[in-house]
Amino acid sequence: MTTLDAVDETPVWLELNGTPVVTWMCTPDQLDDLVVGWLFGEGYIDRFEDIRRMRPCAKEPGFWVDIAPERVAAVEASSRRRILASGCGSVTAFLGSLADVPRRTGAIPELNTPVLRALFKEMFGRGGRYKETGGIHAAALTDGAHLLFHAEDIGRHNAVDKVLGAAVQAGRLPDDLILLESRSRFRTLFAEMTAQRQWGRWHHFFAGNTHTYTQAWSAGYRENTPSEYRTALFASWKYHREKFSSQASLRKEMADGKFLPVLPALGIDWQFHPSLTLKGKISRNYRLPTLNDRFWMPGGNPALLPESGWSQELALAHKMERRNLKIEISITVFNRNIDDWILWSPREGQSFWSANNITRVWSRGLEPRFSVAWAFKDVHLTWKGGYDYIRSTNQVALENPKMEKGDQLIYTPVHQAFSVFSLEWKALYLAYQHACTGPADGINEALNAFQTGHVRLQYSGSIQKYKGTIFFNIYNIWDADYLVVERRPMPGIHFHAGIHLIFHQNSKS
C-alpha cells in the first residue's frame, strides 16, 4: 500500500495596525500572498501600495501590517452582519452589505468549456502537494486562456486568498476567473449474499447478508484516513394470495464492531376492487453518521448518535389495462418522525461548524405517481412521472442556526417533480429522466429552483447460470449549474459505467 505524507498545517497570525485580526490554520508557504489576499478580500486594501509596512515575525509564523487608519475605520464602520460560514482555514465571521461589494470593472471573460477543462488539467498537473499527500485544496487565477497564479493549501479559502494576494502583489487586480480544486477520494468494497425459498403456494422466504467497507482521503481529514466496516443480516417473509399479501422483515446490522438496533418493517397490499389496491407500511428507520459527520476537521464529532425514528405510509393505486396499453395511477401519504437529527452548525464559543444531535424532525407529505406503458412485439415504451409535496419541519426551536419550531428544514425543497421516458427493445434499454426541484431555504441565502436530465443505456443477457447487465449512465446531461447546499456547486455533466453479474440456480422442488 502506498504511504502518503500528511498535509502540513500551521497557525499563522496577523496584527493590523497593532490589533490582532485573524489567525489562520494553513499550509505554511506563500504566507505573504495569504496576508495580502486576505486584506484585499476583506476590503482593507485596493492595491498592494495601500500597505504602508508588512513585517514577518522571526520567532513564529505571523505578520505585522500597517495601513491607513481611515481604511480600517471604513471597514469596521461598514454594515456587517454575522453569517454562518463553514470551511477550512480562516472563516470570516462577518459579511458586509452586498450593496457595498465592488462590482467587476472589466468585461466577463468568455467561458469556453474545452479551454476550462484544459486549464483544470494544467492546474491538476501543478498539484505537487496533492501528489505527496493525497488530499489538499488548490486554486488558480486565469484570464480564460492561461493560468496566471496557482496555490495549494489545506484550507480552500486560504488557497483562494493566496492566489488573490499573488495577483495583487504583481500589480494585476484579480478581475479574472478563479479555478478552485477541492479533491477527495474514497474506496468502497461491497459484497452481498442472498437466498430465497418458497414453501407451499403462499409463503416466500428471503434472507441475506451484506458487507461494506469504505475508506476516504481528503484534506478535511488532516492526517487521518477514516474507514468504516458494516455488515448486516436481513430476512423477510411474504404471504401472498390472489388479492391480499403481507410482508414482514427484520434487519440486524453491526458497524465497526458495535451492534445496532433491530429494524423491523411490516407491509400489506389489499386489492379490494379489480382496479383498486390499498397499500400500507410501517417501519423503523436508523441512519448512522457519515465519515464527514464524525471525522471532518474541524467540526467532526465521533460521539454522534445515529438518527432514528419510525415511518408510516398509506397508498391507493388504480390500474387499467387495454390490450397493449397499461395505465397505473397512485397517491401516497406518509408520515415520519426522526429523533437525534444531525445538523452542522456553529455552537456557542466556536468559530466553525460542527456536527451535533440537536433536534427532532417531523416529515409528512403527498406523492402522486403515474405510469403509462405500451408494448408491441419486442418494443416496450414507458412514460412515468411523479410529484412530491414534502413538509419537513423542525420540532425544536434553535438559536444557532435560527430556526423556529415548525420551520421547513434548510436545503429541503417543498416541491419536486420528475418524468422518465424509456424504450426497451429485446435486451437493450434506453431511458431519459428529467427532474425539477423547487427552491429551498438556506442558512444565509435561498437556493434557486433547478432542472437536471439523466440518460441510461444498458444491455442485459444471460449465459447458463449467469445473468449480467452492462450499463452506461450520463448524469446532468444538460450540464446545469445548481446547488443543493449553499456555496457547494454540484457536478456538471458526468458519467458512470459498470457491470452487474448474478449467479442463479433453480430449485428442483
Identify the structural domains of the chain with CATH numbers, from first to last: 1-182 (3.40.140), 184-409 (2.40.170.20)
Kindly state the helix (H) or strand (E) to which residue 363 belongs, with its residue range: strand 353-376
Q: Is the pLDDT at 221 greater than 60, yes or no?
A: yes
Q: How many CB atoms lie within 10 A of CB 76?
A: 9
pLDDT band at 245 (very low <50, low <70, confident <90, very high): very high
pLDDT band at 93 (very low <50, low <70, confident <90, very high): very low
Amino acid 109: pLDDT: 56
Give per-residue burial for 277-311: e unless 16+ CB within 10 Å, then b.
bebebebebeebbbbbbbbbbebbbeebebbbbeb
Dihedral sign from CA coordinates of 479, 484, 490, 495: negative
pLDDT band at 470 (very low <50, low <70, confident <90, very high): very high
For residue 247, the one-letter residue type is Q
Query: In which order are the strands placed within the sheet that holds 19-26?
Result: 19-26, 10-16, 62-67, 51-56
Amino acid 84: pLDDT: 36
pLDDT band at 6 (very low <50, low <70, confident <90, very high): low
Question: Which residue shows C-alpha cell 497564479?
Answer: 149
Q: Are 423 and 430 in contact (CB under 8 A)?
A: yes
Give the whole-angstrom CA distance, residue 246 versus residue 208: 19
Q: Is the pLDDT at 14 greater than 60, yes or no?
A: yes
- How far is CA 90 from each of CA 86, 145, 197, 351, 364, rounded to the nearest angstrom? 10, 30, 59, 9, 39
pLDDT band at 129 (very low <50, low <70, confident <90, very high): low
Q: Are 268 and 246 in contact (CB under 8 A)?
A: yes
Position with higher pLDDT, 5 vs 11: 11
Q: Are 304 and 289 in contact (CB under 8 A)?
A: yes
Q: Which residues have C-beta within 8 Å of that of residue 509, sequence separation ≥ 6?
A: none
Position with higher pLDDT, 153 vs 465: 153
Give per-residue burial for 173-184: e unless 16+ CB within 10 Å, then b.
ebebbebbbbee
Give the whole-angstrom CA distance, residue 446 versus residue 436: 16
Q: pLDDT digits over 151-187, tens only?
A: 888 777 888 889 888 888 888 766 555 665 556 677 8
Express as a percent the part of the chain with pLDDT over 70: 83
Q: Are 384 and 369 in contact (CB under 8 A)?
A: yes
Q: Is the pLDDT at 198 greater than 60, yes or no?
A: yes
Cα 157 versus chain centre, distance: 19
User: 156-169 vs 31-42: helix axis angle to the nearest 10?
Assistant: 90
Of the given ranges (53-62, 206-215, 228-237), which has the lowest mean pLDDT? 53-62
Q: pLDDT digits over 318-328, tens only?
A: 999 988 999 99
Position with higher pLDDT, 215 vs 436: 436
Whether the pTM exceeds 0.75: the reply is no
Q: Is the pLDDT at 397 greater than 50, yes or no?
A: yes
Amino acid 3: pLDDT: 47
SS3 state of residue 157: helix
Highest mean pLDDT among 186-190, 286-290, 332-336, 497-501: 332-336
Express as a percent the part of the chain with pLDDT over 90: 38
Amino acid 339: pLDDT: 92
Q: Is the pLDDT at 15 greater than 60, yes or no?
A: yes
Strand residue runs (E) in 117-259: 137-142, 147-153, 177-182, 184-199, 203-218, 227-240, 244-255, 258-259
Q: Rounded mean pLDDT of 203-217?
A: 90
Q: Is the pLDDT at 509 greater than 50, yes or no?
A: no
SS3 state of residue 143: coil
Strand residue runs (E) in 100-176: 137-142, 147-153
Amino acid 439: pLDDT: 96
Amino acid 320: pLDDT: 93
Amino acid 343: pLDDT: 81
Q: Are 362 and 296 in contact (CB under 8 A)?
A: no
Position with higher pLDDT, 307 vs 112: 307
pLDDT band at 401 (very low <50, low <70, confident <90, very high): low
Q: How many CB atoms lie within 10 A of CB 150?
A: 21
Q: Which residues have C-beta within 8 Å of that of residue 420, sequence separation ≥ 6?
A: 382, 383, 384, 385, 431, 432, 433, 434
Catalytic machinery residues: 88
Average pLDDT, the chain: 83
Give the whole-angstrom CA distance, residue 14 versus residue 24: 9
